[in-house]
A and B are shown apart, each in its own frame.
Chain A
């Protein structure tokens, strides 16, 4: 337990004298620190902040530069795609079979396997659905082509098939042309 304080009259006078000082500095400036104190304090407390600001400015500048380059390349005109299709695309089939398993059991009309083990329980299998046909016509609900717009086929195979069909029908219906005479040409 702390013993009670014994204050001397001298103690009281010193305390009273310092407590009664006004908040304003004295006229002769004995209780005013020099300006260099604040300068040194500022140097000490602003150093980390300035360092942080430099790094922040560097990062911000890099981000702006990257964004500017990205915007510039986005604004450049894009080259139009080549009009001639590549040979690889012409040879590709329109659709690919879903099931490539040769040994798979045949599927009946209900979509269940025809070959079942004798003691096995019937299992529910989802019937295989045919793959969705690739159609040139727009699907119901989709937007219609603009009037005068060129009809676009889904792929080259479809287009070739249609062209072949048109050529066959036109050849059958059209009268045959006479062959050029041999030796009659003037070369």
Chain B
């Protein structure tokens, strides 16, 4: 079954259909949001298998909590928040979630500019770089740089201090620079 053959529903139709228990609406919601939400959880996971676990757990929460959705915003935004929260709770269950992975020269920068390098890299490559980060670095970098959270919000969500959030972000950026640099030179 391809996406072209699937019936398209708007947000309201999807929500009311899922609340009625309509299997066609449940399938349509998954088909519509599975790919963009998989990209979201891939950023927080270390590999595809872990991302699939997060996606599965997130969609179960979406269907279970659908009656809590208020049509004040887009359905996609609501599902995305659930996915991010699911990914974070998944990471928090890991024992070494915020483990520091040692120091490296924070000012080592062999790149001409970050823009030149990263513009030549596609999303798949950047995703693979993100997944090489330690879980704590990866979570803070995702939340701050891509999802737009502040350090206060990150500290509250992860149960860490604001200083820890800032230091994790700093180290994540330096780590990424090194990975990208190695990739560019090779």
CB closest chain-A residue, reference B170 = A8
Residue B6 lies at the interface, judged by CB distance under 8 Å to chain A:
no
B114 near A31: Cβ-Cβ < 8 Å: no
Give A33-60 as 1s and 0s: 1 = Cβ < 8 Å from B's Cβ atoms.
1101110111011100100000000000
Chain B hits for A129, CB < 8 A: none
B145 near A8: Cβ-Cβ < 8 Å: yes
Contacts A13-B119, A14-B146, A18-B43; is A30 near B63 (CB within 8 Å)?
no
Residue B72 lies at the interface, judged by CB distance under 8 Å to chain A:
no
B56 near A37: Cβ-Cβ < 8 Å: yes
The complex places the Cα of A24 from the Cα of B64 at a distance, in Å, of: 26
The complex places the Cα of A28 from the Cα of B122 at a distance, in Å, of: 13
A31 near B38: Cβ-Cβ < 8 Å: yes
Q: Which of A120-143 touch B at CB < 8 Å? A: none
Q: Is the interface of B mostly helix, strand, loop or mixed?
A: helix
B150 near A8: Cβ-Cβ < 8 Å: no
Query: Interface residue tally of chain B, by bracket?
Result: 35 or more
B59 near A10: Cβ-Cβ < 8 Å: no
B146 near A18: Cβ-Cβ < 8 Å: yes
- In the assembled complex, how far is the CB of residue A131 from the closest CB belonging to chain B, in whole angstroms? 65
B121 near A2: Cβ-Cβ < 8 Å: no
Q: Which of A2, A12, A13 contacts B150 (CB 8 A)?
A: A2
Q: Which of A26, A38, A49 contacts B34 (CB 8 A)?
A: A38
13 intermolecular pairs with C-beta atoms under 8 Å apart: A2-B150, A3-B150, A10-B173, A10-B180, A11-B145, A11-B146, A14-B118, A17-B121, A17-B122, A18-B39, A30-B124, A38-B27, A40-B56
* Residues of chain B at the chain A interface (Cβ within 8 Å): 3, 21, 23, 26-27, 30, 34-36, 38-39, 42-43, 48, 51-52, 55-56, 59-60, 63-64, 113-115, 118-119, 121-124, 126-127, 130, 141, 144-146, 148, 150-152, 173, 176-177, 180
* Residues of chain A at the chain B interface (Cβ within 8 Å): 2-3, 5, 7-15, 17-18, 20-21, 23-26, 28, 30-34, 36-38, 40-42, 44-46, 49
